[in-house]
Amino acid sequence: MIATSPMGPRSPMGPRSKVGQRKARRPEERTSPGLEADRGMWRVRSLTAARQVLRARSSTTQAGFTAERIPRGLFRAHPILISDGPAHDRQRREVARFFAPAVIADRYGEHIAASAQRIVDEAAVTGRCRLDEAALNFTVEVTSRVVGLTESDTDSMAARLTAFFRQPPVDLAAEDWGRTNRQWAQAAVNGIVPLITFFAHDVYPAIRAHRRRHRGDVISHLLDSGHSTGDILVECLTYGTAGMVTTREFIAMACWHLLENDPLRRDYLSADHPRRLSILEEIIRLEPVVGHLYRRATSPIDISDEYAPVTIPAGDLIDVCVRETNIDADHYGDDAEALCPVRHAAAPAAGLTFSDGAHSCPGQSLALYETDALLHRLLSCGPRLLTEPTVEWDDLIEGYRIRNLDLGFHVSARPARAEHRTGDSAGTRATAPAGPSVGQASP
């Protein structure tokens, strides 16, 4: 095994540092060495080295998300998530306009606000909200509008999308990905059945509707570009899982942090929109939803900077450890594991949460925008955390799942109800008020 570390020791933690504020932790995680290799597998924990890998456009191919198991000739246009080279770059440029911040705000802002307000209104009536479930339906409703999946029920679509994650464990570094033949068969069933139902109920009806009327969204663009029905299915699956399901996890995680950090919550609620987004970027830097990005070296890659020069040979698998690169003290300071409302760093504010280089996530602006739209309205109502959420881990996306995040709200007083009562001279009986209105802080 080869291991390299930065030149010289890192400075000790300063007196103002707060370490260990992450809520999602895996026992096997470690922050050093910054770069190590073992039997053709490289693990990169240095932000600088990771960005060099992710920006080596002509020297790597996508190896995550089962990309290497998908036959190249299966699609007329290879899916954007797992394609590389000039075709991928062209796809990215064409799709980027649908996710530009100005387009999101101008074209979809009112829809996003209305969707978020419905969740808050329901919480006002019921007095509680299971945020991880509400966030899933919210993100599906928002992203499906941008993509064009608007011909089916979003709640049912959400259930179909989450079914894709019911997969056997996978280890890309192990032979045959660490799966038995039985597990591979189960993975095929668990993937094909949801894919068929997603196509029949969500994608195909949308394609038919778009062929009748152009709508200026992602599906319209794919049809204009000559994508086949199968191509569009996989692209919709990509946006569905990446743009909807993972954003759900971030909404729950960000809410959890803001509820338990009073100064940060007050700062967030009183801030303007750009400042709120910067706070959310700091949270997602610390708590990236997808923890690992994989690339296959197709030609030698030279890694330099603060490390002794290292060359990653062609054919080796590279694991960019996002959770570790995002707390690289050389870039984010000695308090990199703390939530800092104002962090002055030359590195990306969200770390490598949204990747970097050719495969950087085009939906970053949408994810932050919709998260803020829901959380700012929800937290303004003064909710309280009713239960301690549970943290689970998903091997397919190498990320966390937040479940059972239950919020409680004060419910508006119901009107007094008059009832006839025999023998009562007044003839009426009034019920007592139920309590203060929503928006009043919890005791």
CA–centroid distance for 423 within its chain: 63
DSSP line for 109-147 = HHHHHHHHHHHHHHHHHHSEEEHHHHHHHHHHHHHHHHH
Give the integer Cα–Cα distance in Å for 137 and 133: 7
> Which pLDDT belongs to residue 131?
97
What does the pLDDT look like over 376-434, one tens digit per residue? 999 999 999 998 999 999 877 788 999 999 999 987 644 444 444 444 434 433 333 33
> Which pLDDT belongs to residue 419?
47
DSSP line for 151-207 = SS-HHHHHHHHHGGG------TTSGGGG--HHHHHHHHHHHHHHHHHHIIIIIHHHH
> Which pLDDT belongs to residue 18?
46
Give pairs for 155-158: CB < 8 Å, separation 24+. 156/201, 157/198, 157/201, 157/202, 157/240, 158/244
Mean local confidence (pLDDT), 255-283: 96
Distances (CA, A) of 442 to 123, 257, 388, 406: 14, 17, 17, 14
pLDDT at residue 20 is higher than 70: no
Q: Tell me whether residue 173 is exposed, middle or buried, using C-beta atoms within 10 angstroms of its C-beta: 0 to 12, 13 to 18, 19 or more.
A: middle
Q: Tell the CATH superfamily of the 2-9+40-408 domain.
A: Cytochrome P450 (1.10.630.10)
**Placement of tokens 């700012």 in the chain:** 376
> Which pLDDT belongs to residue 72?
59
**Nearest Cα to 29, choosing from 419, 319, 352?**
319
What does the pLDDT look like over 334-368, one tens digit per residue? 999 999 988 877 899 999 999 998 778 888 999 99
What stretches of 287-420 show up as alpha helix (H) in DSSP? 322-325, 329-332, 364-379
Query: HSE of 30 in the Cβ direction (CA atoms, 13 Å)?
Result: 8
pTM for the complete prediction?
Answer: 0.84
Mean local confidence (pLDDT), 72-79: 56
Structure-token pair, residue 277? 């987004």
Q: Rg for the chain (alpha carbons), in Å?
A: 24
83 φ/ψ angles, rounded to the nearest 5 degrees: -95, 165
Confidence of residue 78 (pLDDT cuts 50, 70, 90): low
Give the integer Cα–Cα distance in Å for 428 and 412: 23
Mean pLDDT taken over the chain: 83
What does the pLDDT look like over 129-153, one tens digit per residue? 999 999 999 999 999 999 999 999 9
If one compares 175 and 393, the residue with the highest pLDDT of the two is 393
Give the integer Cα–Cα distance in Å for 325 and 55: 15
Give the integer Cα–Cα distance in Å for 150 and 132: 22
Domain range summary for the chain, segments of one domain joined by +? 2-9+40-408, 410-443
88 φ/ψ angles, rounded to the nearest 5 degrees: -65, -45
Residues 6+ positions from 121 with CB-CB distance below 8 Å: none
Structure-token pair, residue 298? 């197709």
Torsion of CA 395, 314, 56, 336, to 10 degrees: 50
Mean local confidence (pLDDT), 100-112: 95
CA angle at 242 for the pair 237 and 245, rounded to the nearest 5°: 95
In the three-class reduction of DSSP (H, G, I as helix; E, B as strand; rest coil), residue 293 is classed as strand
What does the pLDDT look like over 291-324, one tens digit per residue? 999 999 999 999 986 656 889 999 999 999 999 9
Which of 181-190, 274-283, 387-396: highest mean pLDDT? 274-283
Structure-token pair, residue 383? 């909710």
